[in-house]
Amino acid sequence: MTLMLMLSLISVLVISGLRAYVYGQARWGIGEHRAVEQLRRYAVDGDEATYQRYRDNLAVPLGDRLARLQLQRLHPDYALARRGLLAGGNAPADVTGLIVLFRLLNWQPLMAHAVAVWSSADSLIAGVQYNAERLHAQMAGGHPDPQAIRASLAQIDDLHRRVVPLEQQFGATLGTASRQIGALILILLPLSCALLLLAGVSLSRSQLRRDARLADTLRELATSLRRQATHDSLTDLTNRAEFELLLKAAIAAGVRGETHWWLLYFDLDQFKVINDTCGHAAGDERIKKVAWLVRSQLHPDDVLARLGGDEFGVLLPRRTHARSRIAAGGGYPATDQWPALSVHGSVVRGQRKSWHAGAG
């Protein structure tokens, strides 16, 4: 957007500057033409007011000449160039654009040619000024020589005739430059829009992909954090805090009569002996194997939790009394590695009684 704004501002500046130069060329030509007319009248009436009107009109091309000479310098005096352009009859709002456009485009072939034509015309204007001063000296002396006056007027008319085609050439060159620059702008702006649109689409798609990857990463991180908060790190079973929340919810559901839950509890006998004789690594492996064996015997909806150390809890949802006793006491085959569980107490619903299954 910044690039497009810069291109648009440059386009407006260039077009506005070229328009101001065309307007200035018209003012320049009018000033030169009127100055010559006033000199012809002055040669007849000798009135100093007529000569002053000549000088006022000639100040327009002379002011433009002062500005051009300053702007062609390596280090121009911009204040002096501004005064010259204002003396040339240019609108104050156009002066900055004229200066900037001259400095930016004086290397451009058409603009360089226009400046060369301008310089040639200024040389002829200097000749008009020289002959006008000679004419003024003749008229102000009180005894003008008619032959000398005619000679001065002839020189002025000849210079004027040579200036006119230069004025036309300057205007034609500016018109060609304006059309070429306008066509270039009409090509560059849509091309820049297309390139910036493609770049924007590419950047947007890249950003969307990064955002998608970031969202996936955040979801994975959130899932991992939730799992770490609710599961035991050693066995990947539900941890004590989550189990207690589930137990409270089960009790509340039982009280409302919505569903039946059954609670089992067991621990490992002589587990401390394993840790003391075989080391904690062996004890951890024992805990993990017990967790895997019990988990394999439970339904996917059942909740198996490690409550701490060698203590485990089980929540059995939607089970009948008989099926819950089978799961607690007879659901696990008795082997050398996994003895059957024996049930102590009674299995009941709700929260009015409790029971536990102790490891046999």
Secondary structure of 141-200 in the HEC alphabet?
Answer: CCCCCHHHHHHHHHHHHHHHHHHHHHHHHHHHHHHHHHHHHHHHHHHHHHHHHHHHHHHH
pLDDT of residue 340: 40
User: Quick one: tokens of 350?
Assistant: 């709700």
pLDDT of residue 329: 66
CA dist 230 and 238 (Å) reads 6
CA dist 222 and 245 (Å) reads 20
- For domain 240-359, give the CATH superfamily: Reverse transcriptase/Diguanylate cyclase domain (3.30.70.270)
Q: Residue ranges per domain, the chain? A: 2-202, 240-359
196 in Cβ contact with 4 (< 8 Å): yes
User: Quick one: tokens of 18?
Assistant: 């070229």
Cα dihedral across residues 19, 20, 22, 26: positive or negative: positive
This prediction's pTM: 0.54
pLDDT of residue 108: 79
Tens-digit pLDDT string for the chain (360 aa): 787 788 778 777 778 888 888 888 889 999 999 999 999 999 888 899 999 999 999 999 999 999 999 999 989 999 999 999 999 888 898 898 889 888 887 777 878 888 899 999 999 999 999 999 999 998 887 777 888 888 989 999 999 999 999 988 988 888 887 788 778 878 887 888 888 888 889 999 999 999 999 988 888 888 888 888 888 888 889 999 999 988 888 888 877 777 777 888 888 888 888 888 888 888 889 888 988 888 888 888 889 999 988 899 998 887 777 777 777 764 544 344 444 443 333 333 333 333 333 332
